[in-house]
Amino acid sequence: MCGKMGKSAVLSAMVALLAVLVALLPVTPALAAGTWTSQRTLLKESHCNDVNFLSGGTTGWAVGTPYYDNDPTPVLHHCWYTNNGGTTWTGQTVGTETDLMFASMEGVYFLDVNNGYAVGERGFICKCANAAAGTWSVVRKGTNTEFLQDVIIFDASSAMVVGVDKPDQGDQST
């Protein structure tokens, strides 16, 4: 039986197993009690794709589609930073590459305030070395068909990025 399962059967079994495991996870009292508080970034033209907070819940980042801030001079933001739990957010520029104006950032992860990465469309990987100052740089630019979706950092020198290569932007099956 194990020798000849089709891809769809294996995928269906994995989805079913994942659903069971998720159902068995205990619900934390904070989630059950409904202690969520809505916070606004005051951004009108950007969509948030990912958010990451350090332990303690006051210092965090959100990434998304490019947002052009014209106050006081035109600046392109892909990332927003808070150090007060989301009460206020400050836009940050993740790099100066021209192609960034067409790329959405999809994932963000910070190990601490001096080690963070954001990843996104066109294979961009951007590193932040000082979150409070907004010191970002592009460490990798991929191709127009690469779509990096998420990142996790294990320590100051190792991280893992996941994504897909979409040779035909109209074909979502790859």
The string of pLDDT tens digits covering residues 107-149 is 999 999 889 999 999 999 999 988 888 889 999 999 989 999 9
How long is the chain? 174
pLDDT of residue 17: 53
**How wide is the angle at C-alpha 151 spanned by C-alphas 125 and 136, nearest 5°?**
40
Q: What is the pLDDT of residues 6-40, one digit of tens each?
A: 556 555 655 555 554 455 455 444 445 556 666 66
Number of domains in the chain: 1
52 within some domain? yes
14 within some domain? no
Bigger pLDDT: 96 vs 162: 162
**What does DSSP assign to residue 127?**
E
Give the separation between CA 11 and CA 129, rounded to whole angstroms.
39
Q: For the whole model, what pTM was predicted?
A: 0.71
118 within some domain? yes
pLDDT over 50 (residue 63): yes
91 within some domain? yes
174 within some domain? no
Nearest CA among 107, 117, 134, 112 for reference residue 56: 112
The per-residue b/e assignment along 6-33, b for 16 or more CB within 10 angstroms, e otherwise, is eeeeeeeeeeeeeeeeeeeeeeeeeeee
pLDDT of residue 174: 45
What is the extent of the structural domain holding 75? 39-165
172 within some domain? no
Cβ burial of 96 (10 Å; 0-12, 13-18, 19+) is exposed
CB atoms under 10 Å from CB of 171, counted, come to: 8
Is residue 124 within 8 Å of 139, Cβ to Cβ? Answer: no
Indicate the helix (H) or strand (E) that contains 105. strand 105-112
pLDDT over 90 (residue 106): yes
60 within some domain? yes
pLDDT of residue 100: 83
25 within some domain? no
**Residue 23, both tokens:** 């159902």
**Least confident span in 65-69, 80-84, 166-170:** 166-170
